[in-house]
Amino acid sequence: EVQLVESGGGLVQPGRSLRLSCAASGFTLDHYAMHWVRQAPGKGLEWVAGISWNSGSVGYADSVRGRFTISRDNAKNSVYLQMNSLRAEDMALYYCAKASGGHYYYYIDVWGKGTTVTVSS
């Protein structure tokens, strides 16, 4: 069974950092692009970042560019989101998501259950 399990969320003060992890199982990670999508409480979905199968292409939403970094370790079947200089508006449920192919022009076909990030002093 294809599965994505996020971890690393929690309560963090504004300006601090947090690293999210996504453990993939049930498929060969290095064949697929991966993404992070977030959802603030009561709000819609917002794409955060994406990374191609070999890390050769990455993309970020304007709202996080320069503060967040997406990376992957195919040998460890894991994807990461390093979040620096966190702001109140970054507070959300963060989903890890698998694309249907290796590059940015493939849609998301599998979602994790998400990990919650709370930014508050």
Partner 1 sequence: DIQMTQSPSTLSASVGDRVTITCRASQSISSRLAWYQQKPGEAPKLLIYKASSLENGVPSRFSGSGSGTEFTLTISSLQPDDFATYYCQQYNSYSWTFGQGTKVEIK
Per CB under 8 A, residues contacting partner 1 are 35, 37, 44-47, 50, 57, 59-62, 95, 100, 104-109, 111-114
**Closer residue to partner 1, CB minimum distance, 27 or 60:** 60
Dmax (CA) for the chain in angstroms is 40
Query: Which residue lies nearer to partner 1 by CB, 14 or 27?
Result: 27
Shortest spacing between CB 120 and partner 1, in angstroms: 22
- CA dist 6 and 120 (Å) reads 21
Q: Is the separation of the CB atoms in 74 and 64 below 8 Å?
A: no
Residue 64 structure tokens:
């996080």
Q: Please, which residue, 15 or 89, has the CB nearer to partner 1?
A: 89
